[in-house]
Structure 1
Amino acid sequence: MTSPQPREPVPDAEPVTRPGAPPAHRWGFGAFLLVEAMLLASAAFVGVFLSRGREGGSIPVRDVLIGTMAPTMIAAATALAITRIRGNGPLADLRLSWRWDDVKTGLKFGLLGLVCTTVGAFVWTKAVGEQNATSAISALVQDQPMSVTAAVAMFLYLWLLGPICEEIIYRGLLWGAIERLQWAKEKWGRFAAFGLSTAVFAVSHLEPLRTTLLLVIAVPIGLARLVTGRLLGSIVAHQMNNFLPALAILLTALGLFSYPD
């Protein structure tokens, strides 16, 4: 009877990826926290820079545009850079690809979001009062008519570009960071990503009084990401949800509409 031969040591294997599944990335919550820190730091820096030498009075239109757009765009650009440096690029890591089915799904959830937002805003306004119901951006443009160029730039940002940047950060980078966690993989998976990203999205706007309303707004957008499994659906849903508020701000900035006193 011969004794069993000792087995040769097996070298460490590379992580196995399911066929058809996106390749694994090497960034996680640290990447999201870095992007959030970049968002807050750039907002603070821009605010201090634009306020130099200005004492009281209304904020110049140029400063409103820069202060609104720059921090979120800088944070989104940082997120994209992280996927390049520590991952496989934004298309793979953020599940960003063009599919008409995702566009259709995003439009459906965006329409649902408009209904939820309209009802939620009505109830919320009744609860907190019209004086407290104005968003931070709406408050900036009240009683401050803009040129047509500036107003259209603000409208396009709020309707199209802003949602893309925010989705890259929250339903892209944060979502991917949550799905990468071991407990999320084993127990809750993408449902944990949906719940946590929805809550963080609402809180991160730093408008405590509007957090409940922002949660209502965020749920249909997150559902579009959950159902499609990709980012385009939530981008389209977010853009559709933002259209009417952006249009109201456009008309207000042009002096064609005013909020009730």
Structure 2
Amino acid sequence: MRMGKVAACLLALWVGGACAADRPDAEAAAGAVQAGKVAAYRDALSRFDAAQAAAPGDASIGVARCDFISRYTDSEYDWVESAPADYEACTQMLAKRWPASPDVALFELGNDWDGDALEKGEALLDAAKAWPKPQQAQLYASLAEHAEEDDKGDYALRAVELGDATQTAEAVTHLAGKQEYAKAQALLERTPPDDLDWRATRRVKAAMLLPDTQAAQREVERHARAGVEVYQDARVRALLRAGKPQAAQAAMANAPAQAASWRALRFDVAVAAKDWPTALAQVEQETEDFGTRLQRFVKLAGAHPASMAQPTMLGTAIVLLMVAMAMALAMGLVFVPVHYRGLARRLQHRASKSPFPRVTLWHTWYGVATIVVVQTFAALMLAPELLDGGELRGATMMRLASWSMIGSALFLLPMVPVFDRRALLGDRAIWRGTWKSIVGWWLVLLAITTVLGALYAGMDADTSTEQVRMVAAMADEARDAGGVLVTFGVIALLGPMVEEFVFRGLLLGGLSRHLDFKWANGIQAVAFACLHMDPPRFVFYLVMGLACGWLARRTGSVAPAFALHALNNAWAIGMMMAM
């Protein structure tokens, strides 16, 4: 019995030892895999070398060999110990053996990690004129990936024209930004569908920039027929753009409920489908980002005014009202020091003389608060995309400029009786005595514009601002839509009328009752220049403000200042529309 137990124990030990011997070791297994990979790597290099020996003049084989080796030089991803040295030797061989080969130049450009790939690529442009089209296209595609925004689109467009369809989205976006919509549409339609879902999605998003509301949906369908599925959010946006909100709702099935981007899309689809409860729920759920909540509030209130009765919407409306009141009161605080300065001057018997004696600081405060509050809330109501940093197009800018000025003019109507007819419209004597001054100041403003333009051109400075883009977009809109009279009416008449009434009538009139005229004129001119938010042309607006203030004091009327302002704006918009 005892011998049987011993035998059983020995048998168990033997079996256990045998199992332990058969159990794989992690380190040994990894070593075996690595050894196999090195052997396969060496075998592949041998095949490349054999192919090169058979075609010694084919640079593309040498490039493919170096490209293969480069895939095993990164220790964090895939690694063969000899690969870095092999890669260095391979690239040296390429440079020595085929120094003028397009394939070699493009390979070196694609593997330039020193940050000067753009400069090196642009240096190849002259030589690339003699390259085959596929290599030229590849060069322009590489430049598009490294270039700044101003040049990226041009390079992408050239790449597509040479046959590289991978840059289609960038090229279409570029053409749409230049409002060359017909060319962008034709380019999109003649390039074949992409074979990668992320690039297909970018093409759909680029198509949404075109006036054709069906373009994006056609891109989705083209890629679907080619077996490439566009990302779900882009598919939904394309349906929404095509005017199919119910289909967009159906396409949102299984979308993440809590993702912020999907909540925004769900809101837009609900508004388009007139699904007011769902839209209201998306407003209620946005509790962290007040800007996003405000944007949705504005959209929902505009689409469904009855929603304002809901507690969520009503609460946001109350907050907006309080913000408007705070902005207005803040404007009033600015004039408190002015009031006390005027009081001190009167005690010193240094009374100031205003060109508009009936204008008080109360009138001044009301006018400045009106133009600030009305224009701010007009932007919120008519262009809520600004809250997300969106870019406005010509039609939206025209609508925003028109309604903000109309709204300001309506709120300023109670201030009109403060001025007599002569102060508002002038008379024959005023016009006869000031028309030369108006023309003279206008020529001064033209000279300043010319000097600033030459100065910035010599410095190669970027002087594009929101003010410039807004006026340019409105000029393009007028030219494309035939709304020339409307554009001139807003920019050359309504805008100058409101601004002169506020700055030279109410602001200058109120300040000059309490301050020396030089100070009053300087303050209103600085405020006028700041309002335009155009730093590169600040000096221009400052001089215009000073000139208009001088005309107002000399004549006792805002009419000559309005004439100078209107003449300048009419000239500017006319020149832009003629370009």
- State the aligned residue count: 218
Contact persistence 1:28–1:178 (CA under 8 A): no
For 1:30, the equivalent position in structure 2 comes to 365
Shift of 1:29: 4.3
1:229 to 2:569 alignment: no
Of 448, 461, 464, which residue of structure 2 is paired with 1:120? 448
Q: How does 1:1-261 map to 2 (within 5 A)?
A: 23=358, 25=360, 27-49=362-384, 51=385, 59-61=393-395, 63-81=396-414, 83=415, 89-92=417-420, 95-129=423-457, 131-132=462-463, 135-141=468-474, 144=477, 145-148=479-482, 150-181=483-514, 184=515, 188=516, 190-249=517-576, 252=577, 257-258=578-579
Shift of 1:24: 6.1
CA RMSD of aligned residues (A): 3.3
The separation in 1 between residues aligned to 2:575 and 2:437, in whole angstroms, is: 21
Distance 1:139 1:176, change over 3 A: same
CA deviations over 1:114-169 (Å, ceiling 9, x no partner)? 21121111111122237526724333246654222x12210232222221111111
Distance 1:141 1:162, change over 3 A: closer
Unaligned stretches of 5+ residues in structure 2 = 1-352
Higher relative contact order (CA 8 A, sep 6+): 1
The separation in 1 between residues aligned to 2:389 and 2:542, in whole angstroms, is: 36
Distance 1:193 1:73, change over 3 A: farther
TM-score when normalising by structure 2: 0.34
Larger radius of gyration: 2
- Other structure's SS at 1:180 match: coil
Bigger helix share: 2
The separation in 1 between residues aligned to 2:511 and 2:421, in whole angstroms, is: 13
- Other structure's SS at 1:95 match: helix
Distance 1:91 1:208, change over 3 A: same
TM-score when normalising by structure 1: 0.69
- Other structure's SS at 1:201 match: helix
Distance 1:39 1:113, change over 3 A: farther
Distance 1:243 1:37, change over 3 A: closer
The separation in 2 between residues aligned to 1:22 and 1:177, in whole angstroms, is: 8
Contact persistence 1:94–1:172 (CA under 8 A): no
The separation in 1 between residues aligned to 2:507 and 2:448, in whole angstroms, is: 26
The separation in 2 between residues aligned to 1:57 and 1:241, in whole angstroms, is: 27
- Other structure's SS at 2:571 match: helix
